[in-house]
Amino acid sequence: MHEGHHAVLAGLGAWLPPRVVDNDDLARRLDTSDEWIRTRTGIRERRIADAGTSTVDMAVAAGRNALRSADSELVDAVVLATATPDQLCPASAPQVASALGLSGVAAFDVNAVCSGFIYALATAAGLISGGVAGRVLVIGADAFSRYCRPDDRTTVPIFGDGAGAVVLRAGTADEPGALGPFDLHSEGEHADLLIVPAGGVKQRRSDDPDDHYLTMQGTAVFRHACARMAESARAVLDRSGLAVADVDRFVGHQANIRILQATAKQLGMAGDRVVANIERVGNTSAASIPLALADACHDGHLQPGHRVLLTAFGAGLTWGSTLLTWPDVKPGGDA
C-alpha cells in the first residue's frame, strides 16, 4: 500500500555533454557574432553531444543521477519526455529503463517538445494518483542540435543538448515536494511555427534536405510563448489560492532570456526570483526545466521551503505549468 496518492518530488538528476561550444566558435563558421547571439537570446555557450552520444545515453545518465539523489534504484515506471528519440519506433523509454536495470517496468515516451517535462510530470502524477505506480522516474532529454541545419544562424545558436530527471514518489499533498495543480494546453493550428516537416507519415521523405531540419518563426513564437506561459502560470496560482507574491522562484522553460524576462514582467515577478541558466546551456528543450532546477540547487538560489512555479512552452503548440514547495533534495550530477 502506498502512503498516499499524491506525486512528491524525491530526487533530481542532471547530465550535460562535456563538449562546450561558445558563441565565438559559432561566429567562425556562421554569419553571426557573440554580441548578436547574447543580445537576442542571452546565450553565451551551449553543450553539444558528440556523434556517439544518443538521446538514450543522455537520459540514462540523468536518470541514474536522479535515482542516486532519491537514494533508490527502483521505480515502477519511466516516463521520458523527448522530441528527439533515438528512432521513431520503438520508443526510447524502454531502452532507458533496461539500461538502468529496470527491465519490466512500464516505460513510454511523451512528446510535447519544450513543454515535454511539464507534460511528463503531469502524466507521472496521474500514474501515482491512480495507484498505478508508487514511484516514477521522469526524464527530459533532447539533442536538438542534430535537427538544426548546420548553416542556420536562427536555430544553431539557440539549441543545446542535455538531460535532466526527477524521481516522484507517492505521498501526501501537504508535504514538501508535492506537485500540483497542473495546467496543460495546446493549439495545433500553429504547428507550423516550430516544425521539422519531414520524417513522419505525412512526409516520410523529401527531396529538399531542409525539410529534415527544424524551422522556426521566431517572432510569432516569442509572442505566443510569453502570453501562454503567463496565462498558464496565473491559472495554477489561482487554483492554489496563491498570488505571484507567494512565489519564491519562477522556473520557466529556458528558450530565450528575453522570453523569460518578458513573462516574468507580465506576471509582475521580481527579477531576483527568476531562475535562469540559459547563458551556459542554451535551449535544451524537454531537459530545460530539470537542468535549471539542478543548477539553482547547486548554486544555492533554490532552497528547501521555496515555493516554486514551473512553466513551459513549446512546439505543437503546447504549454503548461505546475507548482511545488521545494523539498530537501541534493541533485545528482553536475549541471
pLDDT digits (tens, 9 = 90+) for 222-251: 999 999 999 999 999 999 999 999 999 999
Let me know how many helices (H) and strands (E) the chain has, helices first.
9, 13
Give the pLDDT of residue 278: 96
Contacts made by residues 258-264, CB under 8 angstroms, sequence distance 24+:
258/40, 258/41, 258/42, 258/222, 259/222, 259/225, 259/226, 259/229, 259/313, 260/42, 262/222, 262/226, 263/225, 263/226, 263/229, 263/230, 263/233, 263/311
Helix ranges, 175-287 (H): 218-240, 257-267, 278-281
Q: In the structure grid, which three cell numbers stand for residue 335, read together?
A: 549541471
User: Which pLDDT score, from 0 to 100, does residue 334 have?
Assistant: 62
Distance between CA 182 and CA 144 in Å, rounded?
26
Report the pLDDT value the prediction gives residue 180, as an integer from 0 to 100: 94
Asked about 23 being catalytic, the answer comes back as: no
What cell was used for 54?
544518443
Reported residue count of the chain is 335
CA distance 76 to 185: 27
The answer to whether 5 is a known catalytic residue is no
Cβ-in-10-Å burial (0-12, 13-18, 19+) of 32 comes to middle
Q: Which of 65, 111, 256, 283 is catalytic?
A: 283
CA torsion angle 69 84 187 321 (round to 10):
10
Confidence (pLDDT) at 218: 85
Residues in the chain where the model's pLDDT stays below 50:
1-2
CB 5 within 8 A of CB 131: yes
List 253, 256, 277, 297, catalytic entry = 253
pLDDT of 14 reads: 97
- Catalytic site residue from 114, 148, 226, 297: 114
pLDDT of residue 86: 96
283 is catalytic: yes
Amino acid at 106: A
pLDDT value of residue 2: 44
